Structure 1
Amino acid sequence: MALDPGTLSQLIGTIRRFVDERLIPAETEVAESDAIPDEIVAGMRDLGLFGLTAPEDYGGLGLTMEEEVLAVFELGRAAPAFRSMFATNVGIGMQGIAIDGTPEQKAKYLPGLASGDIIGSFALTEPEVGSDAGSVRTTARREGDAYVLNGTKRFITNATHASLFTVMARTDPSQKGAAGVSAFAVERGTPGLSTGKVEKKMGQQGAHVCDVIFEDCRVPASALIGGVEGQGFKTAMKVLDKGRLHIAAACVGLSERILDDMLAYAVGRRQFGRPLADFQLLQAMFADSKADAYAARCMVLDAARKRDAGEDVSVEASCAKMFASEAVGRIADRNVQVHGGNGYIREYRAEQLYRDARLFRIYEGTTQIQQIIIAKALTAEAKARAGL
């Protein structure tokens, strides 16, 4: 259910103050320590950020897609590591259960995910299975009233903090494609489940990823999300469509933040006796950056509204994610250029945000995967019109 305009405005304003007063001032500390302070995580819980999209019946705010992206526009203005701490609960780590889970699974997990007492994680990617989600190799073999999982998941966000994993595994070895994949809710502490070392990344310090390893990991049959085998890929695609709009919104927020930083620096920095902002070649960068950010914002809002109206937005979500992630990369690059030599120095944060922005073009489906999704849909429509 959509919030009334006054309540939504109050929520967005509260989030904006939290970003400005708590998150942005802590960026340097987080980047240097590769950890988000406990008091900031507690503040996120108090603000309800872990439960933005969880159903109201389970303690969440139940935001619509449009309301979610409006909130993420604000949250995205801070370094992306902060958003990653709760985003798996808002999105891929919780939505599979919220969308396709049994009533028992929802009752068991959604309240804890909404409060942040449970950190969720989404375990799909594998060492040789990234964008080709239908080629999952992790297996789930049925043994009586249990399944036994074997395999390794790679680059799993929040895996070191997670107490619940949504795991994609192959339950039918005879099915080589998506049809043989099922989804499971697997709790940390289950014998046979372990996590690998935290990866040292190019950017987004404070957001941790690592391997999740299953070695004869036995889970009860009740862990099968939805209680039906072979639905895992469909669940993943539902989650990823929504997740791509969330990521696109985060790209918009960061784009707008970087543009603000770029302009503030250019107005305050003087060369040849006048502000950098007075030079036309730099003004062209400001204009291009504003157009990129504005176009991305419009795309995200349009796709979110269509999704709320019940439309299939697979293509629109891919368009928004592709454009917004590429746009934030361009804007971050221009920001370094406008800063000149200072853009390469850590003190000014331009280089940090440049590194942080780079990952957006990879996760939740690379730019190239989005291109394939869009092109396949367009080609299918054209063939249908041609009667082929």
Structure 2
Amino acid sequence: MSQVTNQQEVKEGYAFLSHEELVQYVKKLGLFHEQEQASVEEVSDGKINHVYRLSGEQKSLILKQAVPYCRVVGDSMPMPLDRVTFEAKVLQEYDRILPGSVPKVYYLDEAMAILITEDMAPMETGRVALINGTESTVFAADVGEFSAKTVFYTSDFYMDPIVKKELNASLTNPLMRQMTEELHFDWPFNFHETSHFEEGMRNDVLFLSQDQRLRLEVAKLKHKYMTKADALLHSDLHSGAIFMAEDRTVIFDTEFACFGPFGFDIGQFIANLFLNGIGHPEFLSKRYEQAREAWYTFADTFSHLWKTESKEHYTQLDGYLTHVLDEIFADALGYAGCELVRRAISIAQIPDLNIEEDEQKRMASRKKVMELGKYLIMERNNIRSLEELKNWFV
């Protein structure tokens, strides 16, 4: 990780607020009445920021305050405070494209690195729902549709080329993008000191780092992510970045957003469905079917938009849509593979694999996730459909 000092990152006037100070802060903004009783509950689910639910007498809201480092690591992993600024901009862009698909942005304080948004309670986070088996029936299709629409409407197939390039320039997000590159493509494949796995997997992880053919394919995927600005990506679209209700799905946590390849987001999401199924065998076949639903909804939605709303004249050429979808599918599989490997053995651990108390069972699941990830990376250009993966989920 590039070592950007806190002095460079912290703007004048920044201070990390206590619970009492948070209440006074929102009252000064007029979001709560001065005499109103308000409570603060920390609801931080990720590893990076402090997130709070502030509840008043009539309403509640979510306040996120960034610190100039990764919250669960400390000063040794500095992070840019302006990530909440990018997050707010992208949430507003997504709300313009697909109203109601993300929480409303109420307030952004760039100096204090504070973002205040709509509280989506009582919606359930996707990761919790998938672990408990309480997910909605619409979430997979909703995420597929969301991903297709957000990438199409921010691509050169729809946007004015100059406007798209200006949006890309305004959302470069270089330091968070670099973190994505390291977390997804570098650390998991290089026996990094931050890796997390059982001692019985040490040789597996070591062999992974010595597999030159695999690392070559990862290098190709990394280079495409770094250089191909197809569309605006969420860039961290896992099950913990969605809320679910019976008939609605909401996407949040866009601080890693940047422009990149079409297939990255949908690949990440599919990988997290696969991962949950492997970690919870009782849901294995169901998660596979939900991954299929997400992909086919993505492909159908993207194709419909291509045929009805594209402003690029070359989209009228026979075979061009098929070519683009084939590339998106191959990329999605490759990026899904990288996501599976990093979630299996790298610093970005999630409960799906780790709530199993039996070490042998936990290690077996972790190995299967890693093997599937390797397979998707290596065979992404040869796999023609998700149906070819069915044997992994029976």
Q: TM-score, normalised by structure 1?
A: 0.28
Larger helix share, 1 or 2: 1
Q: TM-score, normalised by structure 2?
A: 0.28
